[in-house]
Amino acid sequence: MKDASPATPSQTIYLKDYTPPSHLVDSVELVFKLHPTQTRVISKIAFRPNPDAADPTFYLHGEQLKLIRASIDGQDANAKVTDLGLTAQAPDAPFLWEAEVEISPATNTALEGLYMSNGMYCTQCEAEGFRKITYYPDRPDVMAVFTVKIEGEEPVKLSNGNDLGDGTWHDPHPKPAYLFALVAGDLVNLHDTFTTRSGRKVDLNIYVRDGDLHKTPFGMDALKRSMTWDEEVYGREYDLDLFNIVAVDDFNMGAMENKGLNIFNSAAVLASPDTATDGNFHRIETIIAHEYFHNWTGNRITCRDWFQLCLKEGLTVFRDQQFSGDTRGHAVERISDVLQLRARQFREDNGPLAHPVRPESFVEINNFYTATVYEKGAEVIGMLKTLIGDADYYEGCDLYFTRHDGQACTIEDWLKCFEDVTGRDLAQFKLWYSQAGTPRVKVDESFHDGTYTLTFIQSTPPTPGQDTKDPKVIPIAVGLLNEAGEEIHATKVCEVTDEVHKFRFTGLEAKPVPSINRNFSAPIILERDQSNAERAFLLAHDTDPFNKWEAGRALARDVMVRMVTEDATPDQAYLDALVAVARDDTLEPGFKAMCFSGPSNDDIQQALVDGGVTPDPTRIFLTGQTLNLAISQTMQDLLPRIYAEMQVDGPYSPRSEDADRRFWGNAALAMLSRLDGGAQAAAQYASADNMTQQLAALGCLLRAEVGEAQNAAFYAQWKDDRLVIDKWFSMQVSHAKLAAAPAKAAELTAHPDFTMANPNRFRAVFGALAGNSAGFHEPGGSGYALLADWLIKLDAKNPQIAARMSTAFETWPRYDADRQGMMREALTRIQAAPGLSPDLSEMVNRILA
Ligand code: PHE
Ligand code: ZN
C-alpha cells in the first residue's frame, strides 16, 4: 500500500495563523481490537466547547482511516469525511463522541501511527501520527486523560500510565495525542526499581524481543542515573509508579518520549560489550537521558503548537548535554557537541534549508526535527544560562515548572519566567529564536597605555525569507594570557549587544593574547586574523580546555586550507604542536584523541566557502591523505608506546576512563596503520574481545584496503545480529575511496540483507554515502544519481526518512558548475517523480529555491 498521497494539495501552515482549538477533551477511552490488517479502534471521547475558540466548527483530524460508525450523544454523527479529517454538527454543550475505525498496521510502511515491526505492534504519534489511529483533534494544545484497552493474543500489551491489568491502562496525567503509545507483542523484560527522593517506588522495565535481554542492563543503569540527576540538578521527580521502555527494530528516529512508555529504536537502547562500541554506549546513555528528561520538559509542560518544538527539544537536548558532561567530563562533551553542531547545524544554517530555531511556517512538520531546532535550540538555552548566571537560570526553570505545569506553552511563556526572575528584558535575546543564520563576529584588537581593547563587529548573512538581520545579544566569554602563557585575566563574559561593540581591559603590562569565545559560549563564526604561531601558543597554554582544542583545530584547518589552495606542504609548526600534545602528560587521553581527530572534509569545505573559494571534495580528500600520512610519519616513534600504554586490561567497561584510553589508543592505531600496512590492526582485529576494538581495527584495515578477509569474517560472525550488521554495511561505504563509495553502496543494495523497510539499514548504507564527502561528490555524479534513485524508491514507502536523507543535497550551491548541475539534475528528477510525498517535495523545493 502506498502511503499518504492526499488528494488535497499540501498547504503551508503559519505560526501567525494559530487559533485555539474549537473543543477541549475531558477524557478519552480507546479499545484496540488488534489485527494485522483489520485492527478496529473504538473511541469514546468527552468533548466540550472551548470558551476561547476562534471558530466553533467541530473538526477532527483523521487520515487513512476506514470509518465504520460515528455518533454524537448516541445519535448518528452524519460526519462529512475528507482525506484529512471530518466535520460534524455538534451541540453547543459538552457531548460524547463515539466512533469505530479500521486500520491496517501490517501495511503501514511509513512507521507513523500504528504499525508492525517483526510481528510486534507499536505506535509512533509525534508529531501528527495519532490521526492515523483514530479521529481526534490531533494538536498538542488539546490535552486529555486516556484510558486504553488492548485486545489481542499478544502476551505483552502496554500503553501509557498505570497498568490496570488485562490489557487495560489508565494515564492520570492529561496529555496531547502525540504522547499516546501502544505496544503489543511477544516480549521479555528486564525489571528494576527506583525510589524517588520523596519515596515513590517506581517499577522500571525495558522490553525487548527474546534473545536481546543481555543487551538491556546498560540502558537500565543509564535510566536510573538520569532519574537521580534530574532530581539533583533540576529538582524534578518522576510522577508515575511505572516507567516502561520498549526496543523496536523499525523506527524512524532515535526514540520517543511517550508518557510512561518510551519507545526506542533498538540501536538507541540495546548494547552489550561484544556488539556495541564505546560511541554506541555513549549515544545510548544520552538518548535514555533525553527521553527521560522529556517527562518534565515536553510532557508535563508541552508545546502549544509545533512551531514551539524547540521549547521541548532545545531545552531537553541542553539538559542531556549537561548530564553527559557531568558523567563523561565537560571538556570532551563540549567539544563533541560543538563538532556535531558545526557538522550538521552550521551546514544547515548556511544553506538553502536555513530556518529559525522557531520556524514561522512549514508544510510538513516532520521536516522540522532539525539540527537547528534541536542543537541550536540547545545553544540558545546555554546562552541564556551564561547571560543570567546559574542561580537565576535554575530559579527561572523552577518558576517555569510551577507556573506552567499541565499546560501547552510557547517560547514567550518560557522567556517570561526568566524576565520575571531577573527583571531583564529578553526582547533582544528572543531574536535567537526568530532570526536564522549563523552570526559572524569579526574581532579587532588594539593596545595602548596598558589598555587592551577588543572590538566585536557582528553580522548575520541573509537566509531564505530573511534578507536583513538585527544585532543580537551574544555572550562572548574572553580570557587573557600573557606572553609566558599565564592567565592574567580570568574568563569574563562580554555581552555584545550592538553591531559594533568594544570592551576594554585595563592595567596590563603588555599586549595580551586573547582567548575568545571560551567554552564556545555562543554559536557563532569568529573572524579574526590570527597567526598560526598564536594558535600553537593557545594550544599549548590556554586554560580553557575547549579553546585549547579549538586553537589546534583552527591550526589544522588553516594548514589544510593552505595545502588545498596553495599547494603548500604539511606545516612543520603544526606537526610539532601535535607531537607536543601527544607528549604532554598533563593532558587526558580523550582530549589528546580529540586534538588528533582532524577537521572533516565538510569542515574544510565550510572554511573554503567562507573564504570565497569553491571547494573540491576530491582534492580535499587527497590532501587529507597527504596530511595524515605526514602526521603519522612525524609521530612514528611515539606511536608504539602510546598504543601499548592505552591498552585496557580486564573485562570491558564502557566507563569513560576506559573509553577515552581506547579512543586515544585507536587514534594511534589509525596512524600506525598508515605506516605498517595494517599489521597492527590485523593483530588487534584477531585478538579483540569487544566491538570497539574489533570495529576500530576493521576500519583501519578497510582504509588501508587490506581488510577483505576480516570483512568477510565479520559478516560471518555477526550475520544474526541486525545492529552489528548495520555497522558492517556502513563501514564499507564510509571507508571506500572516491568513486568506489557509490559503487560499494550500489553493490550493497543488492545484498540479501539489504532492505529499505528498515530505516537503520537504509541509513547504514545511504547515511554513510552522504557522510563520505569525496565519495558522494565524486566528479562523475554517480553518488548523486544513486541517492536520487533510492530516495524516489523509498519515498513511496517511508516519506519521512526519504525527506530527511535528501539533506545530503543541501550543499549544492557550494560547488563548481559541473557538480551543481548534476546535483540540481538529481533534485529535479526527484521533484518530477510521480506521487511524490509532501514531505520529500517540500524538502526538494526548499533545497532548490
Ligand atoms: N521527540 C523525539 C525526541 O526528540 C523525537 C521524535 C520525533 C521521535 C518524531 C519520533 C518522531 O526525543
Ligand atoms: Zn526530544
Return the residue whose CA atom lies nearest to atom 9 of ligand 1: 126
Residue 541 C-alpha cell reads as 597554554
DSSP characters over 459-493: E---BTTB---PPPPEEEEEEEE-TTS-EEEEEEE
> What pLDDT, on the 0 to 100 scale, is given for residue 9?
61
CA-nearest of 658, 655, 600, 667 to 631 is 667
Calpha distance 511→780 (Å, rounded): 52
**First-residue to last-residue Cα distance in the chain:** 31
Reduced to 3 states, what is the DSSP secondary structure of residue 712?
Answer: helix
pLDDT tens string 277-301: 999 999 999 999 999 999 999 999 9
Q: Is 287 in the pocket of ligand 1 (CB under 6 A)?
A: no
Best residue among 117, 122, 126 to mutate for probing ligand 1, ranked by most atoms within 8 Å of CB: 126
Which residues are catalytically annotated?
291
Kindly give the number of the ligand 1 atom that is closest to the alpha carbon of 317. 4
List residues bridging with 301 in a β-sheet.
297
Return the residue whose CA atom lies nearest to atom 3 of ligand 1: 256
Using the mean position of ligand 1's atoms as its centre, give its distance from the Cα of residue 290 in Å.
10
* pLDDT for 276 beyond 50: yes
Kindly give the number of the ligand 1 atom that is closest to the alpha carbon of 316. 4
CA-nearest of 230, 340, 209 to 283 is 340
* pLDDT for 307 beyond 80: yes
Q: Is 672 in the pocket of ligand 1 (CB under 6 A)?
A: no
Calpha distance 756→763 (Å, rounded): 9
Best residue among 179, 257, 316, 364 to mutate for probing ligand 1, ranked by most atoms within 8 Å of CB: 257
Q: Is 257 in the pocket of ligand 1 (CB under 6 A)?
A: yes
Using the mean position of ligand 1's atoms as its centre, give its distance from the Cα of residue 260 in Å.
15
Half-sphere exposure of 407 (CA within 13 A, CB side): 12
Return the residue whose CA atom lies nearest to atom 12 of ligand 1: 256
Calpha distance 438→215 (Å, rounded): 40
Calpha distance 356→377 (Å, rounded): 9
- What is the number of the ligand closest to the CA of 268? 1
Q: What is the 3-state secondary structure (H, E, C) of 154-189?
A: CCEEEECCEEEECCEEEEEEEECHHHCCEEEECEEE
Return the residue whose CA atom lies nearest to atom 5 of ligand 1: 256
Which letter does DSSP use for residue 17 in this model?
G
Contact in structure between 332 and 660 (CB atoms under 8 Å): yes
* pLDDT for 73 beyond 70: yes
Using the mean position of ligand 2's atoms as its centre, give its distance from the Cα of residue 436 in Å.
21
Calpha distance 570→727 (Å, rounded): 33
pLDDT-derived band at 1, boundaries 50, 70, 90: very low
CA 269 vs CA 115, 245, 253, 324, 839: distances in Å = 20, 9, 12, 16, 28
Residue 675 C-alpha cell reads as 605506516
CA torsion angle 549 555 558 562 (round to 10): -140
Q: How far is CA 507 from the centre of its chain?
A: 45
Residue type for 828, please? T
pLDDT tens string 712-769: 999 999 999 999 999 999 999 999 999 999 999 999 999 999 999 999 999 999 999 9
Q: Is 138 in the pocket of ligand 1 (CB under 6 A)?
A: no
Rg of the chain on CA atoms, in Å? 27
Buried b (16+ CB within 10 A) or exposed e, 488-524: bbebebbebeeeebeeebeebeeebbbbbbbbbbbbb
Using the mean position of ligand 1's atoms as its centre, give its distance from the Cα of residue 127 in Å.
8
Using the mean position of ligand 2's atoms as its centre, give its distance from the Cα of residue 591 in Å.
28
pLDDT tens string 338-365: 999 999 999 999 999 999 999 999 999 9
Reduced to 3 states, what is the DSSP secondary structure of residue 670?
Answer: helix
List residues bridging with 113 in a β-sheet.
124
Which letter does DSSP use for residue 570 in this model?
P
pLDDT-derived band at 6, boundaries 50, 70, 90: very low
Using the mean position of ligand 1's atoms as its centre, give its distance from the Cα of residue 256 in Å.
5
List residues bridging with 421 in a β-sheet.
none
Calpha distance 643→622 (Å, rounded): 26
Q: Is 365 in the pocket of ligand 1 (CB under 6 A)?
A: no
Return the residue whose CA atom lies nearest to atom 2 of ligand 1: 256
pLDDT-derived band at 90, boundaries 50, 70, 90: very high
Q: Which residues are near ligand 2, the ion (C-beta closer than 5 Å)?
A: 313, 316
Kindly give the number of the ligand 1 atom that is closest to the alpha carbon of 374. 4
Using the mean position of ligand 1's atoms as its centre, give its distance from the Cα of residue 253 in Å.
6
| Mean pLDDT, the chain, integer | 97
pLDDT tens string 420-442: 999 999 999 999 999 999 999 99
Q: Is 379 in the pocket of ligand 1 (CB under 6 A)?
A: no
> What pLDDT, on the 0 to 100 scale, is given for residue 10?
81
Return the residue whose CA atom lies nearest to atom 6 of ligand 1: 256
pLDDT tens string 605-648: 999 999 999 999 999 999 999 999 999 999 999 999 999 999 99
Question: Would you tell me how many other CB atoms lie within 10 Å of the CB of residue 311?
Answer: 27
DSSP characters over 242-261: EEEEEEESS-SSSEE--TTE
Rounded to an integer, the average pLDDT of 535-543 is: 97
Calpha distance 12→30 (Å, rounded): 32
pLDDT tens string 485-497: 999 999 999 999 9
Rounded to an integer, the average pLDDT of 775-804 is: 98
Q: Is 255 in the pocket of ligand 1 (CB under 6 A)?
A: yes
Q: Is 256 in the pocket of ligand 1 (CB under 6 A)?
A: yes
Q: What is the 3-state secondary structure (H, E, C) of 201-237?
A: EEEEEEEEECCCHHHCHHHHHHHHHHHHHHHHHHCCC
Q: Is 310 in the pocket of ligand 1 (CB under 6 A)?
A: no
Q: Is 291 in the pocket of ligand 1 (CB under 6 A)?
A: yes
Contact in structure between 478 and 494 (CB atoms under 8 Å): yes
> What pLDDT, on the 0 to 100 scale, is given for residue 75?
98
Kindly give the number of the ligand 1 atom that is closest to the alpha carbon of 127. 9
Calpha distance 382→522 (Å, rounded): 8
Rounded to an integer, the average pLDDT of 537-547 is: 97
CA 247 vs CA 122, 258, 263: distances in Å = 10, 13, 6
Q: What is the ipTM of this complex?
A: 0.99
- What is the number of the ligand closest to the CA of 127? 1
Q: Is 290 in the pocket of ligand 1 (CB under 6 A)?
A: yes
CA-nearest of 564, 669, 681 to 625 is 564
Using the mean position of ligand 2's atoms as its centre, give its distance from the Cα of residue 659 in Å.
26
CA 252 vs CA 125, 265, 707, 767: distances in Å = 11, 8, 32, 13
Contact in structure between 445 and 494 (CB atoms under 8 Å): no
Kindly give the number of the ligand 1 atom that is closest to the alpha carbon of 251. 10
* pLDDT for 457 beyond 60: yes
Residue in the structure block whose three cell numbers are 569553491: 614
> What pLDDT, on the 0 to 100 scale, is given for residue 7?
42
Using the mean position of ligand 1's atoms as its centre, give its distance from the Cα of residue 685 in Å.
36
Q: Is 496 in the pocket of ligand 1 (CB under 6 A)?
A: no
Contacts for 829 with CB less than 8 Å, ≥ 6 apart: 788, 792
Q: Is 594 in the pocket of ligand 1 (CB under 6 A)?
A: no
Kindly give the number of the ligand 1 atom that is closest to the alpha carbon of 129. 11
pLDDT tens string 667-679: 999 999 999 999 9
Q: Is 154 in the pocket of ligand 1 (CB under 6 A)?
A: no
Rounded to an integer, the average pLDDT of 641-661 is: 97
* pLDDT for 8 beyond 80: no
Kindly give the number of the ligand 1 atom that is closest to the alpha carbon of 291. 12
Using the mean position of ligand 2's atoms as its centre, give its distance from the Cα of residue 294 in Å.
7
List residues bridging with 102 in a β-sheet.
40, 66
pLDDT tens string 515-528: 999 999 999 999 99
* pLDDT for 5 beyond 80: no
Q: Is 250 in the pocket of ligand 1 (CB under 6 A)?
A: no
Calpha distance 828→841 (Å, rounded): 10
Using the mean position of ligand 2's atoms as its centre, give its distance from the Cα of residue 777 in Å.
32
* pLDDT for 3 beyond 80: no
* pLDDT for 473 beyond 60: yes
Kindly give the number of the ligand 1 atom that is closest to the alpha carbon of 298. 1
Residue 349 C-alpha cell reads as 544554517
Calpha distance 704→260 (Å, rounded): 48
Q: Is 124 in the pocket of ligand 1 (CB under 6 A)?
A: yes
Kindly give the number of the ligand 1 atom that is closest to the alpha carbon of 112. 11
pTM: 0.98
